[in-house]
A and B are shown apart, each in its own frame.
Chain A
């Protein structure tokens, strides 16, 4: 069936089966930064944002149900500069193999939208749907803290490197 998904601000027409998962539809549209890591909605590497700030495991949703809901994937995070969360993951060594990283960053962004000053416990709770097998989470927590700080600075004050 024909559907149109709005991904990162662009309308994409696609032909999908009713059972096609959103994760597959996004990847088939060439946006392979959204990964797949399990069959049980457990790992979170497929996380995207729906309607701007709702983190969703895209393997848990049919592509058809996402029609009319703008989707943000990792490819849509950066503007002309990196998003502070991207810079922070790099600065704090918040990634190793990188497979969990897109989902992890999107869950972090959703948290920071809801809660600009999260405590460590709140960060750990918000990311508990995203598994990481490499980092042990500690540097990911630090990255979210760095991003929170950067995002709380008045506009224009953030260093641009």
Chain B
């Protein structure tokens, strides 16, 4: 008889810093995870979508008659039917609006045109294939630099000639907004008087998070109760409930969003997608549950892409290599709708962290966003809102500057680091960095790598005509959005809630407004509570993802869970401890002032051995209370962080380049992270491994590419390449610990540091290997072909 759920729980009090095994593993290793597509409801129908083959086309008609003849097909809806429900268009998170199904025209290839409902998934797919759409192709805008040409076709007829957008004036029908920060004049002056000025253009290409579980949803409108239950692959179920209530008019108490186990998210599962809306509408119309699970192609072609930032930077410096100023201009390709998942005040996210770990006296950054005939998005792919683009920009540029100065890139960085004594450090672009010891972290990385030795080896190899490079990235992130004075999404302040209920027998249930997708919250939240309350981790159960039971919170993305919900968890536990202390005093028959919390129990000061545990207190909270005290031992805590956190790290990469084939082999990669206090070192290391692998993917293979007609050339895993175990390098990790001074447990968050910090290290290493051939920059993905062309162009012999 096969075992259903092994008991693998780590036991006892296991607080911060313990590498305990994960509590959530038990169900996954026996195949009992409960992902969206594993849920089947009685009477459920299936939905399939019809997609446009054109990037830009007028729709002259949609004929569903053949589809309706397919056995099992029950209904087909188009934009016309949605309009009846007021749902033809829905607001995006970025203040724009978006078609649910094509309304009169399509604006990108694979755009959703109609939804087909049927008894089985196969019948729905057959039905979708039978829907006839009459398209009249139009000229597509693919190059973002051409989007605002005087003669460019107007993409968004719905806002044609409306020159006031959600983020200020628009200067062309395909222009969305312009956002800038810093002092332009002062920066220009500082640049003008700089001894050295370097300029570089670089592209952070369009990419896709591509979690292995695609997106999906089940809409379940109960006619009997009037309640809508939505099962959804969502990283932010509470925000989704509110948004659903606003767009459908269904009162929020009548909506329940359940986000079951999620097979990876990486930002892909934050927005609301047309498929979700159609499945919900389908359920309301048909009176049965409706399931929609996207195919991989739908995932890659229609749901939130990331990046697509086209950046120009200029840096000024002294001859000795001290930076004086930075000026950045970025063109952001948002596709057909501005569906970026950014906090309202920040249409370019937190891109203004682009001064990085360096003490730039002056800086100015400007971002222009445009519409093109590509899928909408701008999601924060394993990234805190455009921090990845910013970090890549500055870390790549520091190498460009080092190249110009003929200076070692490590030395240049050390010369310009923000010093420990400067924290809290006000950056030229307006942030207050919390803490860091950048030089120490870099030195740990360089020592672990054996930097000096490798530089010698490189010189020897170069003399022999062999190609080897070393790339450094000493990045600073900005995560944990965010303090309510500045951060909201659609007006919802970006705090997070935690609920802790201690049961009479000393066990507890803990709930949070976040939703993990592999990050290990079921273990790490239990560890925080175990630390603060002295309860056994195996007696703490963690629950997330059901809006009926969990406290409100904005969800898990942008590395905000530990900085925000983790803070709520710690402070909630401390609030419980305050009450527990009163009960302990009662049990110990002393005044509260004589009781202290030490060694994870309450003791009478100065009387060794006279103590009670939290379990004993919990029992008393239900059985033997001090007179007049409210029974129970539980709380809900909402944490509004006072600042963001600034995780940082030093990554160093060594590559060997095959001069015949252009193949780049990553020989070593050392990643030293400083994410403040570490809750579970095993989980942190796992996050770093995974993030580095995604950074590696970005640097060398991942790209959502288009041809001149706007055809998506990366619509499945044979064209959009993810690294396998074969090409993924071995990672060498380590830490420095500089706690965040303002976070309740000093933690900063780590899930995204490796994706943010590593791409520049990889590219810097390749460019370093080719620098003596006159190469100063290569855009990602740095494919074999690109390197091969450089080598052949430089007249390097293949053998």
Contact = CB atoms under 8 A, between A and B. Distances in A.
A95 B31 contact: no
B730 A138 contact: yes
B716 A89 contact: no
A38 B689 contact: no
Interface string A18-61: 01100010010001111111111011010000000000000000
Interface string A116-138: 00000001110111111111111
Interface of A: 8, 17, 19-20, 24, 27, 31-40, 42-43, 45, 73-82, 86, 89-91, 93, 95-102, 105, 123-125, 127-141
A93 B22 contact: yes
B686 interface: yes
B722 interface: yes
B726 A124 contact: yes
B2 A78 contact: yes
A101 B29 contact: yes
Interface stretch (B99-107, B476-484, B514-522): B514-522
Nearest to B691: A136
A141 B29 CA distance: 16
Contact of B686 (A38, A123, A133, A135): A135
Contacts of A78: 2-3, 6, 30
Given A82-B30, A99-B263, A134-B264, 18 more contacts: A32-B37, A33-B31, A35-B212, A37-B263, A38-B716, A74-B30, A74-B31, A75-B2, A76-B2, A93-B682, A95-B29, A97-B211, A101-B28, A133-B266, A136-B689, A136-B693, A138-B730, A138-B731
B314 interface: no
Contact of B690 (A40, A129, A136): A136
Nearest to A99: B263
Majority SS at the chain A contact face: loop
B308 interface: no
Nearest to B263: A99
Nearest to A36: B37
A128 B722 CA distance: 11
Contact of A90 (B29, B263, B517, B691): B29
A45 B722 CA distance: 14
Contacts of B27: 98
Interface string B684-714: 0111011111100000000000000000000
A32 B730 CA distance: 32
28 contacts: A17-B122, A24-B121, A34-B31, A37-B212, A37-B263, A75-B32, A77-B2, A78-B6, A89-B29, A90-B21, A90-B25, A90-B29, A95-B28, A96-B520, A96-B687, A97-B262, A99-B211, A99-B264, A128-B724, A128-B726, A130-B724, A131-B722, A133-B211, A133-B694, A134-B686, A135-B686, A136-B689, A140-B725
B106 to A, nearest CB: 22
B519 A96 contact: yes
B214 interface: yes
B690 A133 contact: yes
Given A35-B263, A79-B2, A99-B213, A134 B722 contact: no
A84 B13 CA distance: 27
On chain B, which size bracket covers the interface?
A: 35 or more
Contacts of B506: none
Given A93-B22, A137-B725, A139-B686, A40 B28 contact: no
Interface in B257-295: 261-264, 266, 295
A100 B21 CA distance: 19
Interface string B195-232: 00000000000000011111000000000000000000
A35 B28 CA distance: 12
B33 interface: yes
A35 B25 contact: no
A17 B261 CA distance: 30
B135 interface: no
A68 B672 CA distance: 53
Contacts of A129: 724
B263 A77 contact: no
A38, A40, A76 — most chain B CB neighbours (10 Å): A38
Contacts of A101: 28-29
Nearest to B687: A96
Contact of B689 (A24, A95, A131, A138): A138
Contact of A42 (B21, B29, B263, B717): B717
B761 to A, nearest CB: 15
B8 interface: yes
A98 B261 contact: yes
B467 to A, nearest CB: 23
A133 B722 contact: yes
B296 A39 contact: yes
A90 B8 contact: yes
Chain B interface mostly: loop
Given A99-B263, A131-B212, A136 B716 contact: no
Contacts of B731: 136, 138
Given A75-B30, A101-B29, A96 B686 contact: yes
B416 interface: no
Contact of B517 (A8, A35, A36, A97): A97
B718 interface: yes
Contacts of A24: 121
Nearest to B2: A78
B3 to A, nearest CB: 5
A81 B6 CA distance: 8
A136 B692 contact: yes
A97 B212 contact: yes
Nearest to A137: B725
B35 interface: yes
Contacts of A127: 724-725
A37 B233 CA distance: 14
B2 A8 contact: yes
B689 A132 contact: no
B1 interface: yes
A42 B299 CA distance: 15
Nearest to B688: A136
Contacts of B685: 93
B22 A90 contact: yes
Contacts of B35: 32, 35, 99
B728 interface: yes
Given A97-B264, A124-B726, A42 B718 contact: yes
A91 B21 contact: yes
B725 A128 contact: yes
A74 B724 CA distance: 21
Contact of A37 (B22, B26, B121, B214): B214
Given A75-B31, A96-B519, A133 B726 contact: no
A98 B24 CA distance: 9
Given A101-B28, A134-B518, A141-B725, A93 B38 contact: no
A97 B683 contact: no
A33 B717 contact: no
Given A90-B29, A100-B212, A133-B210, A39 B122 contact: no
A129 B642 CA distance: 46
Contacts of B213: 35, 37, 97, 99
A129 B730 CA distance: 18
B58 to A, nearest CB: 29
Contacts of A100: 212
A35 B293 CA distance: 12
Nearest to A120: B730
A24 B29 CA distance: 20
A131 B724 contact: yes
A151 B731 CA distance: 27
A72 B29 CA distance: 14
Given A32-B31, A82-B3, A137 B21 contact: no
B560 to A, nearest CB: 18
A128 B690 CA distance: 16
B30 A39 contact: no
Contacts of A97: 211-213, 261-264, 517-518
Nearest to A98: B28
A93 B518 contact: no
A137 B632 CA distance: 45
